[in-house]
Each structure stands twice: as structure tokens, then as C-alpha cells.
């Protein structure tokens, strides 16, 4: 693949813009400036620098974001900034989308990708991908509430009970809840149906992937691929 095509595929602008970046001496390979946009390179495993920013080649982008409160999981937000605005421009150009949604006031682990098939696979209710939420409640957590969430609660738009795959108290006003579905406002509605109210909501785990402790709110990092979500 030509070097200019690599930059284009990674979201660094139109083809002419990518050629201009290279001709202008803004691209480095192995630490050395490369000013030949038509240089043939092997993209797999390629790491290059554009204007001092190190960038690994990914045919499909998959990133993990520590979502802060005050951001919408939408490309066309209505009331708050989009989580997309927290990503660098090349990833925005590539059209990354959130895998599922977290409410504006919900924080924690959010995946974003430009792989439509992966989004479908991860959000399909048939796949039962576990998601773990840390919840702070307004009222004290009771054993009865935990039992009810484990057995299943009825939401107003679904006659069938919805139950947590796992549920435990982590404090007097705190719960850890594991879900396999992704219904609208599901955690808040389930807790409300059990007789309590969510005050703060944070997603700490998606599949086999935990939110890294050293990833600050608003920061993101690459994932090597979907296998990171299924590792033992």
C-alpha cells in the first residue's frame, strides 16, 4: 500500500491532504522523515508519526474510552457534547461510533469502533455479552432489593421480568450489577422497580475487559482487537 493511502485509510484527510502531509515532511517512519507519498509500505504492524503524533495502523479501529459525565453517546448530540469530540480528529474522520450507549450522566467504560459488524455482534441481545455497573443509590440497599434484582423485575414496557445476571451490595448505598442485555435506561429502571433510585452510575467492565485504573476520565486508548473482550 502506498504511504499516502495508509494515511488516507487512517483518517488523516483527503488523498491530496495526505500527500501534502508527506511532501511537507510531516510524516516519519522509523524516526526518519519520509517525503515520498508513493512509497510502498506493508500496513500490517506499521507505526508512523504524523506531526509528532505516534500512530499505529489499524484496518479497523477499536478504542476504549473512559467516558466522563456530561457527554452524549451520539454523533448528533442534542443537549451535551458528543463523546466523539473526545477522540483525535483522524478517528472522528473515520466515523467511529459508540458500541451501545451510556446516558449523559453515566461514566466509565465505553467502546468505539468503525467496524459495523463488530457493533452488531456486541450489541445483539443473542450474544449475552456481560456488562458490569457500579451503582450508588439514594436509599440504603436492602437484601430484598438484591433478591428482587436477581429474580427479575418487570419494566413498564416489557411484560417479561428482566433480571440481573449477578447482583451484590458493595456498600450501604452501593450495588454492583451485571447485565446481559442493553435496554433503554435499563439499570436505572431496574433499580427503580426494585424500590430504590440510582444516584450515580459507572460501567466498570465490558465482556472480559476491565476499565484500566490508569485511564483518566476523557482519555482513550487503542485495543488490539475484539479478542480483548473475550480473553479469559
Q: What ranges do the domains of the chain cover?
A: 3-56, 62-125+208-229, 131-206
Identify whether the C-beta of residue 129 lies closer than 8 Å to the C-beta of residue 229: yes
Phi, psi (deg, nearest 5) at residue 154: -100, 125
Closest by Cα among 125, 79, 117 to 97:
117
Segment 109-139, tens digit of pLDDT: 999 999 988 988 888 777 788 999 999 999 9
Indicate if the pLDDT at residue 44 is higher than 60: yes
Across 74-85, average pLDDT: 86
Q: Is the pLDDT of residue 23 over 60?
A: yes
* 108 to 69, 102, 150, 180, 187: CA distances (angstroms): 9, 9, 23, 17, 14
Is pLDDT at 76 greater than 90 in this prediction?
no
Q: Which of 103, 114, 157, 210 is catalytic?
A: 103
Topology (CATH) of 62-125+208-229: Alpha-Beta Plaits (3.30.70)
Q: Do domains 3-56 and 62-125+208-229 have the same CATH topology?
A: no
Instruction: Please confirm, yes or no, whether 114 is among the known catalytic residues.
Output: no
Residue 220 CB contacts under 8 Å (≥ 6 apart), including other chains: 63, 64, 65, 66, 86, 87, 112
Q: Distance between CA 148 and CA 169 in Å, rounded?
A: 13
Please state the CATH superfamily assignment of the domain spanning residues 131-206 in this structure: Alpha-L RNA-binding motif (3.30.70.1560)
- Beta carbons within 8 Å of 139's beta carbon, 6+ residues apart: 173, 195, 196, 197
Cell numbers given for 132: 458490569
Calculate what percentage of the chain has a pLDDT beyond 90.
76
Neighbours of 116 (CB within 10 A): 11
Checking if the pLDDT of 232 tops 80, the result is: no
Query: For all residues of the chain together, what is the average pLDDT?
Result: 92
- In the chain, the N- to C-terminal Cα span, in Å, equals 35
Pick among 3.30.110.40, 3.10.290.10, 3.30.450.20, 1.10.540.10: CATH of 3-56: 3.10.290.10
Could you tell me the pTM of the whole model?
0.91
Amino acid at each position: 500500500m502506498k504511504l499516502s493511502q495508509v494515511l488516507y485509510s487512517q483518517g488523516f484527510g483527503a488523498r491530496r491532504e495526505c500527500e501534502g502531509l508527506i511532501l511537507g515532511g510531516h510524516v516519519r517512519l522509523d524516526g526518519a522523515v519520509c517525503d515520498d507519498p508513493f512509497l510502498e509500505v506493508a500496513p500490517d504492524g506499521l507505526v508512523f508519526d504524523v506531526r509528532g503524533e505516534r500512530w499505529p495502523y489499524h484496518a479497523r479501529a477499536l478504542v476504549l474510552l473512559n467516558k466522563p459525565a456530561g457527554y452524549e453517546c451520539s454523533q448528533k448530540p442534542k443537549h451535551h457534547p458528543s463523546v466523539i469530540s473526545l477522540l483525535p480528529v483522524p478517528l472522528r474522520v473515520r466515523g467511529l461510533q459508540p458500541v451501545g450507549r451510556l446516558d449523559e450522566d453515566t461514566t466509565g467504560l465505553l467502546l468505539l469502533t468503525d467496524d459495523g459488524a463488530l457493533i452488531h455482534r456486541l450489541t445483539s441481545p443473542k450474544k449475552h455479552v456481560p456488562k458490569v455497573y457500579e451503582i450508588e443509590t439514594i436509599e440504603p440497599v436492602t437484601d430484598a432489593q438484591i433478591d428482587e434484582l436477581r429474580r427479575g423485575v418487570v419494566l413498564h414496557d416489557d411484560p417479561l421480568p428482566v433480571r440481573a445476571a449477578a447482583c451484590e451490595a458493595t456498600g450501604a448505598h452501593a450495588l454492583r450489577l451485571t447485565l446481559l442485555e442493553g435496554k433503554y435506561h435499563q439499570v436505572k429502571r431496574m433499580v427503580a422497580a426494585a424500590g430504590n433510585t440510582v444516584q450515580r452510575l459507572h460501567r466498570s467492565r465490558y465482556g472480559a475487559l476491565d476499565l484500566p485504573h490508569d485511564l483518566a476520565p476523557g482519555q482513550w486508548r487503542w485495543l488490539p482487537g475484539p479478542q480483548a473482550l473475550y480473553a479469559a
